[in-house]
Structure 1
């Protein structure tokens, strides 16, 4: 027995020794190999001892030529072998490019981290991990560092040469974050794809969009209306009101291009294709000094800025339009992104289209004559291109183009006194934009971005009435160009310093012509302005602070305006945080509402430019303070705000009164409180938001001088419930309940007065009355499935206003001799019960 045990023991030792000897002989020290190779090939290697220290390699096969030998050494080490002549060979890391790979896991539960960010420091190279936590990168500088990050986990930095792919893919574990500022950032806010950023802005990631009540796709502007303090008094995304501001007081940016047109179908759906727009940041206060204009908010839309080196895309349709997008790699460092969308409303009338059409054209010439022999042709489209070129690891060029268009043609024939009358109306709204920018990393701490854009917005409409032989046209054109130099210097990991110079020119033209009686009016204004901004940002542990200022000079007025900005976030403990925001802003453009020149009810808003006299520069002052609580997926947020905007004119506010056409300069002041509670569980996300605000005008010309703003929504309450039956099947139910907007009635008993030869409505003091409360319930459902691992699909169905409630969103009066007291009230209603459906395929 002992002999057998001894035999097995000795055999085990021998086998282990042989195996160990074989494994240990697989690789040898590179320094030893080089000495042998110098003798064998009669060459001399030139290198630093530190470069080859601890480097091991499997010896090459015997009999290789010198060229094959160097190729073998280059492939199987992180070093670069170059021959100076047939005898001398240099060894270094200089300009060496290698391939790396790895697998990223959570250090606590050992689960793979999907979509973890893998980025090469100080370069444009990067990727994300797949469903197994794996990643792979080519052409990576061997001396660089890799940063691997994931939400709520610590960022880990690793030397590239430690991930050298010939040695196998390295397993990487990253730890969960315990006390970093990222805790202030809410990874999922209300629904997947919505996040609260460190600086307080709300970010919509369209690629990760979950589901919201009534929505069948991540409509950018419809989505932000669920946020506290953001309303749309007439249900239109072209009329988004942030903390009591008018829609023209929102700075709308698409990849850095200022856009003047935001909605298709006259504001009922967003004009920006969400499937190539990667993320949208909405800032209500404490804006970065890099942004000007938009005294109420900044809505910054950004498309993907990273070269994926992967052909991908998608497409789909709903009851109004069809769209598609593609990402096409041309070379390793060149990629092309394209998207397009077009309605089929000029070929097919769906129930959704019919409701949208009736909602858009109610109470105007189109709706009132629909029973006659009339024909309408309406369509919209948008498309965009993006060119991405990484010149090298430190320099990149990006170029963008976008075109948005709405076209409407209305032809009508009707009989009057045995005569056939024809009436033709045409309306075209479009916005073109283009931008090019050069991103440069001059060092690990200093970078710059030089960009230039132009934006061309125009609305062109005409109306011909054969009975009166009258032909009239309206034209509004905005042309803006801008050159901007932005720089960023990182003093340390916690201090960032940014500066910038901006040169801007904007021109606006307004033209109105009538042939009978002959009349023509053209007004063209041009304004040059320049600006310098500076900002310092601090972020460490529980504190985030950003202080900045912007100085603008208006060449035409020889005027300077200083705009300070502040944004502070402070965590008190793991649950509570405080926030303080403040800003001064200005803008030089506004929309004028033309009551007299309106003939379709759609094109009455025109952009106008400040002249520093009758149309002053609009200025705002805003401050807000809030407290946030977050624990166990329960989020509570309460914010008090105050905002005063001066330099507004009565012509761009849209209230009805006897002096609405007079030139009058005033201001509005709004103050209120925003409250949000959001509770999330494994399959449920439910939230309730409430906003209380008081919003008043002050105009010297009116009596009384102070009265309710036309956008004064005193109480606004919304609630929603999202439920996930499975990972792929979700539903969302929600409602909106808010106060009715103010409006003006005629003076009782004296409803009309004479104005020259015309009879007009004799309005009472403005905005004394209120419409009934607005109430709407929406529901939507989403189901995802796969045709294959590479082809994924989504079906969404949504129902707006499922109770079919007739909400009045606006009221005004017209002279009507057949009506009681010679006036008739006109009510505009919100969308009735409206279904919609979308189907998408992504690959």
Structure 2
């Protein structure tokens, strides 16, 4: 990016911010109360706590770091601090003369915790807040859900929410409102995670014992987020107990976990470290044949975080994650992949009204594949690395306006593939695809404004840019010999670029807008619009994303993906917020999507751009949601009716076709029942329409054989059968009185996954019978692949001290 580009970026975004900052200096004198709110037992900052001024019937909520700020006329006020699952508290404050800092520690209300299901905010947050298309899951709720092998999982849990789906068991990641897996920005303490799955999608990379907050944004995306089309999954880690040493963990059938946290300096600095390791390979050793005795198949991850309160105005955080999956079958093959991230953050208070956070992070995702032994072998490795810095300001101008503005810059390094091959003990020269570089930058500004008691707005603008950088060689591609098939590069069009030379630069304005009109205390109407741009692409033409899929930047031939989404929702609470109901409808228009030619060659292809096509997309639907938040029996049910389609030149006869993750009907039922202090039960039921697939429509005869055939290359012309599954779980919590360790708590989880033995199809393929059939007789065999085809019982033991 040139100097002029940076100047334009600065002048268009930050000069207005500086002008807005100066306005309060000339306004009528007001006073401000601000501070941090934490959990009294652990010192964890609490996100989304309601701070309410009784006399003004106005207030604020804490930000992701537990900070709040309210500016009012001088006077004496009563502040109420409330957070579901905690005992509310009140404080009298005198703001007649000067600003005040009021830090609060809230006590957990154990008798309320069992009644909390989805959110940790104020009870009517779904009505009062301007945000829509946002889902939040409390960790305590996640831990109570039925889960495969008794191990709770964040990604599997959010798939039980409206508008979220997956193409099947064994599929990595998740899909949101018609978007692909690679169109979700998954953040762990603000660092991107490029593959969020362990064990091919059965577990996620997030250790629930180390997670504090989970927030999924499906629409109305605020301006500070960007880089993906469909959703933001923002996962925040715990900061560590700053009062005393504590820990928790569990022992299950497939892996065990342990988390430790303690103060470094009491009430000033603390740490948390959490680890998990599966041991299926250890348990399987006695049952393996001799030639497989050295096999390894496991996954592990380690999560850690340190925080330090330097003084009242400065806090620093350092967090890291390292995880890996390893599958090695002796000398037959090896396959492993993993993520690593490091995030460093600094919080600074310029004054009571201006909060500053800057984040620097590093993220790496790599994967490796190998076959053979020392005499004959093949090894392949690839990765994507990311470096970024993001300064962000939050200005609490007054009780009606909260301004957020900042910028970020990301450096990408793509290593698409490097192979090493040995044949008959002779090493063949390595095949290396050239590395690719790109810089993505953005500046943004947004405001959350309360017009009056009924109308609230959230609006903003994001200016993003992406520069594809050298060293590289670019090509133009000739028209395909057959429509819908691959193209060859035109040699005469080759153009070389030096290291860090700009090859192609893209700019996009991304407006964001949300509005809430509150009809009364128990109901509101909300609407939102957002435009998003995505400059990196997950390249995959399989029915489900896999760890071998590659990330690819926008180039001369591959444009950034663009999406415009509008949504409208009606929200209604009943019986004093015991029941929450909502209906949201949405329409998403997508352009410049990446699609693939027939028989695309995506791995180790130097001219991969010749197999990529530009596509359009549209997704629309309605999400119905009913949730009971209180009482011994609670839970939610959701139904999503949706359609997701693509349109690509020379594909499917130039007609719209179903995207591979299109699911017309999606029903989720989740329930919890707390029988008594010892026993609680939970269950979940899922019904999802079958995903589209390309099936043959004809056969033809060749020397007595009748192979299946799709003569017009129609894409995703059929669907596999519907998916449905019931899971049940029971939790036993022994009495604490009989345990010799005073602070030791434990519980057992008994679960049944796939209770009624449903063999859900993951895919269906067609193959001709290997025997020669009589003339005129065909015998094509349809083969169904089911990842899990039986009930899976499990038991796990969990503890806390």
TM-score (norm 1): 0.70
Query: What are the superposed Cα offsets for residues 786-835 of structure 1, whole Å, 9 maximum, x if unpaired?
Result: 33552211211221111111111222346775587696544321423112
The more displaced of 677-686 and 448-457 is 677-686
Tell me how far apart the structure 2 counterparts of residues 309 and 604 of structure 1 sit (CA, whole Å): 44
1:603 is displaced (CA, Å) by 4.4
Could you report, residue by residue, the CA deviation over 1:85-116 in whole angstroms, capped at 9, with x for unpaired residues?
xxxxxxxxxxxxxxxx999xxxxxxxxxxx99
| Aligned with 2:327 (options 396, 399, 408) | 408
Task: Say yes or no: does 1:346 pair with 2:281.
Answer: yes
Q: CA 1:489 to 1:408, structure 2 compared with 1: closer, same or farther past 3 Å? A: same
Give the conservation status (yes or no) of the 8 Å contact 1:386–1:400: yes
**Alignment pair present for 1:434 and 2:342:** yes
Q: In the aligned structure 1, how far is the partner of 2:587 from the partner of 2:256? A: 42
- Structure 1 residue 127: Cα displacement: 11
Question: 1:796 maps to what in 2?
Answer: 749
SS at match of 1:222: helix
Q: Distance in 2 between matches of 1:325 and 1:462?
A: 34
> 1:439 offset after TM fit, Å?
0.4
CA distance in structure 1 between the partners assigned to 2:747 and 2:620 by the alignment:
42
Equivalent pair of 1:650/1:660 in contact (CA under 8 Å)? no
The answer (yes or no) to whether the contact 1:674–1:692 under 8 Å persists in 2 is: yes
Matched, 1:740 2:687: no
**1:289-331 Cα deviation digits (max 9, x unpaired):** 1111221110000012476332222121211111111111111
Q: Is the CA contact (8 Å cut-off) linking 1:775 and 1:807 kept in structure 2? A: yes
Q: Which residue of 2 aligns with 1:203?
A: 136
Matches within 5 A, 1:121-140: none
CA deviations on 1:122-145 (whole Å, 9 max, x unpaired) are 999x999xxxxxxxxxxxxxxx99
**Equivalent runs, 1:594-633 vs 2, <5 Å:** 603-613=547-557, 615-632=558-575, 633=578
Give the direction of change, closer, same or farther, for the CA distance of 1:601–1:635 in structure 2 (3 Å limit). closer
- Give the superposition deviation at 1:649: 2.1
Q: Distance in 2 between matches of 1:842 and 1:118?
A: 31
1:272 aligns with 2:206: yes
Matching of residue 840 in structure 1 with residue 798 in structure 2:
yes
Contact 1:477 1:509 in 2 (8 A): yes
Residues 248 and 591 of structure 1 are in contact (CA less than 8 Å); yes or no, is this contact kept in structure 2?
yes
The 5 Å alignment of 1:385-396 reads 385-396=304-315
How far did residue 574 of structure 1 move? Answer: 2.0
Partner of 2:528 in structure 1? 581
Deviation at 1:739, TM superposition (A): 1.2
1:209-262 Cα deviation digits (max 9, x unpaired): 462244635411111011011111123462311112111111000001111121
Shift of 1:768: 0.9
**1:814/1:824 contact within 8 Å kept:** yes
**Which residue of structure 2 aligns with residue 330 of structure 1?**
264
Q: Hey, what does 1:715 align to over in structure 2?
A: 665
Say whether residues 1:808 and 2:753 are aligned partners.
Answer: no
Report if aligned partners of 2:341, 2:362 keep a CA contact under 8 Å in 1: yes
The corresponding residue for 2:481 is none
Change in 2 beyond 3 A, CA 1:127/1:665: closer
- Report whether the alignment pairs 1:827 with 2:784: yes
Q: 1:346 aligns to what SS in structure 2?
A: helix
Q: CA separation of 1:526/1:825 partners in 2, compared to 1, >3 Å: closer, same or farther?
A: farther
Corresponding residue to 1:537 among 444, 448, 454: 448
Superposition pairs of residues 256-295 of structure 1, within 5 angstroms:
256-295=190-229
Q: Which residue of 1 aligns with 2:467?
A: 555
Of the three residues 125, 146, 151, the one matched with 2:83 is 151
SS in 2 for 1:391: strand
* Distance in 2 between residues matched to 1:235 and 1:194, nearest whole Å: 35
Distance in 1 (CA, whole Å) between partners of 2:690 and 2:106 is 57
Closer, same or farther in 2 for the Cα pair 1:827/1:640, shift >3 Å? same
Question: Which whole-Å CA distance do the structure 1 matches of 2:643 and 2:197 have between them?
Answer: 28
SS state at 1:389 partner: strand
Superposition deviation, residue 681 in structure 1: 5.3
Q: How does 1:466-485 map to 2 (within 5 A)?
A: 471-485=377-391
Q: Which has the higher contact order (CA 8 A, sep 6+)?
A: 2
Q: Name the residue aligned to 2:371.
A: 463
**2:641 matches 1:692:** yes
Residues 229, 567 of structure 1: alpha-carbon distance in 2 compared, 3 angstrom cutoff = same
User: 1:191: how far off?
Assistant: 8.6
Aligned with 2:156: secondary structure? Answer: helix
Deviations 1:506-541 (A, max 9, x none): 111111535669883514210012110000012464
CA contact (8 A) 2:240 2:271 kept: no
Change (3 A) 1:793 1:191: farther
Deviations 1:363-422 (A, max 9, x none): xxxxxxx999545420111001111011101110111111011111013xxxxxxxxxxx
How big is each residue's C-alpha offset from its partner over 1:619-651, in whole Å with a ceiling of 9 and x where there is no partner? Answer: 111111010111112222111011122222224
Asked whether the equivalents of residues 656 and 812 of structure 1 are also in contact (C-alpha less than 8 Å), the reply is no
Give the 3-state SS of the residue equivalent to 2:698 in structure 1.
coil
Contact kept? 1:213, 1:733, Cα under 8 Å: yes
**Whole-Å Cα distance in 1 between the matches of residues 184 and 637 of structure 2?**
25
Q: Which runs of 5+ in 2 are unaligned?
A: 1-37, 41-47, 53-59, 68-75, 96-103, 108-113, 469-503, 603-607
Counterparts of 2:601 and 2:692, CA distance in 1: 11
Single out whichever of 201-210 and 260-269 deviates more from structure 2: 201-210
Note the 1:493-504 alignment, pairs <5 A.
493-504=399-410
Counterpart CA distance in 1 for 2:532 and 2:702 is: 41
1:710 and 1:743 in contact (8 A); partners too: yes
The structure with the larger Rg is: 1
Aligned twin of 2:23: none
Instruction: Establish whether residue 212 from structure 1 lines up as the match of residue 145 from structure 2.
Output: yes
- Structure-1 separation of matches of 2:755 and 2:122: 25
Give aligned pairs, total. 657
C-alpha separation between the residues in 2 aligned to 1:656 and 1:712? 24
Q: For each residue in 1:683-716, what CA deviation from the matched residue of structure 2 results, as whole angstroms up to 9, or x when unmatched?
A: 1124321111111110102132211111111111
Q: CA deviation at 1:590?
A: 2.1
Secondary structure, aligned partner of 2:681 = strand
Cα distance in 2 for partners of 1:726, 1:612 equals: 63
* TM-score of the aligned structures, taking structure 2 as reference length: 0.74
Tell me the CA shift for residue 746 of structure 1.
Answer: 2.4
Alignment of 1:231-380 (within 5 A): 231-236=165-170, 238-305=172-239, 308-332=242-266, 333-349=268-284, 374=292, 376-380=295-299
**Aligned mates of 2:317, 2:355 — CA distance in 1:** 16
Alpha-carbon distance between aligned partners in 2 of 1:652 and 1:311, rounded to the nearest angstrom = 57
CA–CA distance in structure 2, aligned partners of residues 561 and 282 of structure 1: 24
- Kindly indicate whether the alpha-carbon contact (under 8 Å) linking 1:654 and 1:710 is maintained by their aligned counterparts in 2: no
Specify every segment of 5 or more residues in structure 1 that has no aligned partner in the other structure, as ranges: 1-100, 104-114, 129-143, 162-169, 174-185, 355-369, 412-422, 754-758
1:52 maps to what in 2?
A: none
Match for residue 8 of structure 2? Answer: none
Matching of residues 183-194 of structure 1 within 5 Å: 188-189=116-117
Residue 564 of structure 2 aligns to a residue whose secondary structure is strand
